């Protein structure tokens, strides 16, 4: 039915005086749609991702395909425009006798030469413009690794004297050390399963005396002492070495911030601090899923702030209104537990990930945040048999 309607429409257009103009436009349009369809299929096959059509239409790949196609069409027009008309209008070649008697057509040769110079210049201009736009719209495929480090148990106790939350210090310390060992295994598992970015585990525990006394005193007056000290420590490493990976610091003490809300983590630029205190402590049920989820979210958040202009919390997001998106500000343990179990990126965040980092990074971030890898049989069995822990819902 559709084919018959299309043939009828073409037959009608061919009888109109506009057909000589419409024919090349329709041909270019069909070719463009075909190239887009092939690119869409290739993207899903190459990176093993399933993209919604609206997401593809807003992606960098469609822009790059459009620029490349327009450049090819523009170069073709620049090289061929007007040649057929001039060939039909060109007079027949003179005979040998008249060529001997006449003057060589030097003016026409110069005109032809200058015409080709203009065409080549236009081709170079189109190519340069296309390459510039392709470079502008190329995602940041190479992102920095993330350095993960545990703070020594009680490192921020001066800023938070009730960090043990009713547990004996020995039991809390043992739980914290056990969680540290499990987290190191989870980092290796994450690195083994993806290539988008690497998580580096720094084995020496972090101590507040690693920063200067002046920074300690200044941060003691800050609303969020752990984040302040972590930032000072990261800044000192950059000053000493010239460059240092972004830092995610894990602690068992509260983060401060005032009020009664649970913060779970805090982030500013290349530094994040994650606490197990708001989850209930290092020995609480689900702390493994929570830390795995937090490390993935903080890694993505740091990369997005560095390359995508991402703001946390999202501008205009009302506090206390959540939909399960990984960047929601969870108001309490119940909301955070639900987010950990069903974490996902919003459509806007997926689009931003795709355009900033490419399809492989987007696929990795979405896959890791869902924690399906953590609940897989081999990982779950290892956690149970080697570390003696059970995941939520096991």
Residue 93 has pLDDT above 70, yes or no: no
Tokens encoding 353: 């990930």
Query: In whole angstroms, what is the distance from residue 141 CA to residue 70 CA?
Result: 25
Under a CB-based contact definition with an 8 Å cutoff, are residues 211 and 110 in contact? no
Q: Please report the pLDDT score of residue 345 as a whole number.
A: 87
pLDDT at 163: 45
pLDDT in tens, 12-25: 778 888 888 888 88
Regarding predicted confidence, which is higher, 154 or 99? Answer: 154
| Mean pLDDT, rounded, of the chain | 82
Over residues 236-282, the pLDDT tens digits come to 999 988 888 999 999 998 887 655 455 789 888 899 999 998 888 88
Which of these ranges, 76-80, 107-111, 184-188, 291-295, has the smallest mean pLDDT? 107-111
**Does the pLDDT value for residue 322 go beyond 60?**
yes
pLDDT of residue 202: 94
Helices (H), the chain: 2-14, 19-47, 53-57, 60-80, 83-89, 96-101, 106-136, 169-193, 213-220, 225-241, 287-307, 333-342, 347-357, 359-369, 377-385
The proportion of the chain whose per-residue pLDDT surpasses 70, expressed as a percent, equals 82
The phi-psi region of residue 294 (left if phi > 0; otherwise alpha if psi is between -120 and 50; otherwise beta) is: alpha
**pLDDT for the residue numbered 262:** 54
The predicted model gives 68-83 an average pLDDT of: 85
Q: Are strands 146-151 and 247-251 parallel, antiparallel or unpaired?
A: parallel
Q: Starting from the edge strand earliest in sequence, which strands make up the sheet with 199-206, in order?
A: 199-206, 146-151, 247-251, 271-275, 265-268
What does DSSP say about strands 271-275 and 146-151: parallel, antiparallel, or unpaired? Answer: unpaired
- Output 315 or 221, whichever has higher pLDDT: 221
Of residues 185 and 59, more confidence is placed in: 185
What pLDDT digit, counting tens, does each position of 100-144 carry? 455 555 555 566 566 778 888 888 999 898 888 888 777 777 888
Residue 285 has pLDDT above 60, yes or no: yes
Residue for token pair 């982030």 = 267
Q: What six digits make up the tokens of 317?
A: 């997001």
């Amino acid at each position: 039915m559709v084919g018959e309607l299309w043939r009828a429409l073409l037959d009608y257009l061919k009888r109109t005086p506009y057909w000589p103009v419409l024919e090349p436009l329709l041909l270019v349009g069909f070719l463009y749609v075909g190239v887009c369809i092939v690119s869409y299929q290739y993207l899903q096959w190459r990176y093993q991702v399933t993209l919604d059509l609206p997401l593809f239409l807003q992606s960098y790949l469609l822009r790059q395909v459009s620029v490349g196609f327009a450049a090819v069409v523009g170069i073709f027009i620049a090289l061929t425009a007007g040649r057929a008309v001039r060939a039909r209008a060109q007079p027949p070649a003179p005979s040998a006798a008249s060529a001997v008697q006449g003057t060589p057509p030097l003016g026409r040769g110069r005109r032809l030469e200058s015409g080709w110079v203009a065409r080549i210049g236009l081709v170079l201009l189109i190519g340069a413009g296309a390459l510039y736009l392709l470079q502008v719209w190329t995602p940041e495929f190479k992102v920095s690794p993330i350095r993960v480090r545990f703070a020594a148990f009680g490192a921020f106790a001066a800023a938070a004297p009730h960090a043990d939350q009713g547990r004996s210090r020995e039991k809390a310390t043992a739980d914290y050390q056990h969680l540290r060992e499990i987290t190191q295994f989870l980092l290796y598992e994450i690195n083994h399963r993806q290539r988008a970015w690497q998580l580096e585990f720094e084995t020496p525990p972090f101590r507040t005396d690693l920063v200067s006394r002046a920074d300690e005193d200044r941060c003691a007056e800050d609303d969020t002492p752990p984040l302040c000290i972590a930032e000072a420590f990261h800044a000192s490493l950059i000053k000493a070495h010239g460059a240092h990976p972004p830092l995610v610091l894990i602690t068992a003490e509260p983060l401060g911030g005032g009020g009664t809300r649970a913060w779970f983590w805090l982030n500013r630029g290349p530094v994040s601090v994650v606490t197990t205190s708001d989850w209930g402590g290092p020995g609480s049920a689900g702390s493994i899923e929570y830390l795995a989820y937090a490390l993935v979210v903080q890694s993505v958040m740091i990369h997005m702030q560095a390359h995508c202009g991402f703001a946390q919390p999202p501008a205009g997001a009302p506090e206390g209104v959540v939909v399960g998106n990984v960047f929601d500000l969870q108001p309490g343990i119940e909301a955070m537990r639900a987010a950990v179990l069903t974490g996902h990126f919003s459509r806007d965040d997926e689009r931003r990930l795709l355009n900033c980092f490419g399809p492989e990074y987007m696929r990795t971030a979405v896959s890791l945040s869902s924690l399906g890898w953590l609940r897989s049989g081999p990982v779950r069995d290892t956690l149970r048999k080697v570390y003696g822990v059970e995941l939520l819902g096991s």
